[in-house]
Amino acid sequence: MGYPNPSHGRETPVLSKYFGDPEARTLAGWRARGGYESLEKALGMDPVEIQTMVKDSGLRGRGGAGFPTGIKWSFMRPDGKTHYLCCNADESEPGTFKDREIMRWTPHGLVEGVALGAHAIYAETAYIYIRGEFTEPIARVTAAVEEAYAAGILGANAMGTGRRLDVHVHRGAGAYICGEETALMNSLEGRRGNPRIKPPFPAVAGLFGQPTTINNVETLTAVPYIIKHGADWYQGLGRDDNPKSRGTKLFSVCGNISRPGNYEVTMGFPFGEFLNELCGGALPGREIKAVIPGGSSVPILTREEAEGALMDYEGMVAAGTMLGSGGVIVFDDKQDMVKQIARLARFYAHESCAQCSQCREGTAWTTRILERIAAGDGHARDFDTLLSIGENMSGKTICVLSDSCATPVASGLKKFRHEFEAKLGPDRSRGVVPVMLTTNRSAVA
Ligand SMILES: Cc1cc2nc3c(=O)[nH]c(=O)nc-3n(C[C@H](O)[C@H](O)[C@H](O)COP(=O)(O)O)c2cc1C
Ligand code: SF4
């Protein structure tokens, strides 16, 4: 069955070029489209040369934090230790579904990027950790890995180079927290998927205590194109006045929008044109009210703020938010922002691994208060309580899941306070009405 390949002339499809093309899924089809040429070339290059090329391209991690990929790879030096590459395909951030489409349509593109990345960091073994619910992507990537082994691309003599390259597919068990890189490694090791305290950083002591690099699916899939077309080509994609964000980026768009889906544009694309032209704007008779531009953990923008923003790391910071994972969630004028934010908070409370008290208690209390306000039983003092809980949840925990819950709440309260105030209950002096809430204590994969 076909996939509505979003091609509006304004996109720059590099990673998404073959979305909707079933023939690109097979090894023969991928090779016919130039697949594995970059891996072959890269296996003839020194890893430091690849690291430098990726550094020069300006590629930054697409998993959310935007750390420069070439610099991350340069932490890995030949030291006689076993190195590992982990590909983070746990994609569970609400509103984000780009990695899923890469795996569904171009699984060999990912396998090529993973094999290339492993060589670039002096690793023989790579793991692709895929979100457990991703049944079709798991099947597609597994089939691609099997085909690559059968063709001698992977294995003891990868592409006839005499070098060993192994890629293993691991299925997660449905815990959002296992997308956090150290939780992912714990989960791969068969432990409970709890984030680890850093340092030590994964490049020093990661999977099985060995130097490890963790990269997102989109990041790794972009690398073969950089090897093929050169660092300068990638550097050439983006707005002229921002050398810090280069290349293309996949954005997943969902919510109250005419044409939801995945769109690939160059960094710095005007967000107003993106929403109103590429994505078709609001549904008929409605108006966009708010936008979360980078997955559910970044500050919410009003429509006006979003329409004036530029879609790259710095452009989003200038607009008061973050590019994050590129998951764009659109809310229109029919939506109740209090309910929507309460729903996000409940997600984080459910997914908290519960190691840190600020996160375990903070996400739970935030949810209780928001749900009570949403039910029309709030008190004005709840707003200060929410902000104070949020402050105590930010920058104080083992990982940033805690901050991710506090951030949309604080920005939502600031920008849509009138909606919160409209929900204050008749008895404004009432205290907290407890509701049942559970955290996810089964984050084991
Ligand atoms: C709670 C939480 C969940 C995360 N989930 C993902 C995820 O599903 N996929 C991903 O690539 N990164 C995720 N990350 C970010 C990873 O920890 C890590 O930064 C990323 O995989 C690094 O890859 P990159 O440098 O290629 O972006 C998550 C982080 C946190 C704190
Ligand atoms: S911040 Fe939350 S999810 Fe992260 S380690 Fe602490 S309790 Fe677990």
The pLDDT tens digits for 160-219 are 999 999 999 999 999 999 999 999 999 999 999 999 999 999 999 999 999 999 999 999
Residue 298 alpha carbon to ligand 2 centre in Å? 17
Instruction: List alpha helices for 124-239, DSSP H.
Output: 135-150, 181-188, 217-229, 231-235
Predicted pLDDT at 427: 60
Pairing mode, strands 248-255 and 125-130: unpaired
Which atom of ligand 1 has the smallest separation from the CA of 61?
A: 27
Cα gap 176→184, rounded to integer Å: 10
Residue 401 alpha carbon to ligand 2 centre in Å? 6
Residue 220 alpha carbon to ligand 1 centre in Å? 13
Q: Which two tokens stand for residue 339?
A: 């309910």
Predicted confidence (pLDDT) per residue in 220-234, tens digit: 999 999 999 999 999
Cα gap 257→143, rounded to integer Å: 34
In single-letter form, the type of residue at position 6 comes to: P
Pick the ligand that lies closest to the CA of residue 218: 1
Residue 196 alpha carbon to ligand 2 centre in Å? 9
Cα gap 169→283, rounded to integer Å: 40
**Regions of the chain with pLDDT less than 70:** 1-8, 427-445
Q: Which two tokens stand for residue 217?
A: 């699916």
Protein residue with least CA distance to atom 23, ligand 1: 215
Neighbour-count burial of 41, counting CB atoms closer than 10 A to its CB (0-12 exposed, 13-18 middle, 19+ buried): middle
Neighbours of 190 (CB within 10 A): 8
Q: Which two tokens stand for residue 261?
A: 């889906």
Pick the ligand that lies closest to the CA of residue 196: 2
Instruction: List alpha helices for 250-320, DSSP H.
Output: 271-273, 303-307, 313-318
Cα gap 367→348, rounded to integer Å: 9
Which atom of ligand 1 has the smallest separation from the CA of 92?
A: 8
Stated pTM of the model: 0.94
Predicted pLDDT at 9: 76
Protein residue with least CA distance to atom 8, ligand 2: 353
Domains of the chain: 22-235 (3.40.50.11540), 248-332 (3.10.20.600), 337-421 (1.20.1440.230)
Predicted pLDDT at 425: 73
Which atom of ligand 1 has the smallest separation from the CA of 401?
A: 1
Cα gap 319→311, rounded to integer Å: 10
Measured in degrees and rounded to the nearest 5, phi and psi for residue 244 equal: -90, -20
Measured in degrees and rounded to the nearest 5, phi and psi for residue 50 equal: -65, -45
Sign for the CA dihedral angle at 223, 229, 234, 238 comes to negative
Which atom of ligand 1 has the smallest separation from the CA of 220?
A: 26
Predicted pLDDT at 154: 98
Pocket test for ligand 2, best of 359, 389, 407 (most atoms within 8 A of CB): 359
Residue 71 alpha carbon to ligand 2 centre in Å? 27
Predicted pLDDT at 257: 97
Which atom of ligand 1 has the smallest separation from the CA of 400?
A: 31
Predicted pLDDT at 7: 55
Residue 20 alpha carbon to ligand 2 centre in Å? 38
218 CB within 6 A, ligand 1: no
420 sits in which H/E element: helix 417-421
Pocket test for ligand 1, best of 88, 218, 219, 322 (most atoms within 8 A of CB): 88
Ligand 2 lining (C-beta closer than 6 Å): 177, 195, 352-356, 359-360, 397-399, 401-402
DSSP states of 47-110 as a string? HHHHHHHHHHHT-B-TTTT--BHHHHHHT----SS--EEEEEE---STT--HHHHHHHH-HHHH
Quote the strand ranges of 275-429, DSSP E: 288-292, 301-302, 310-311, 327-332
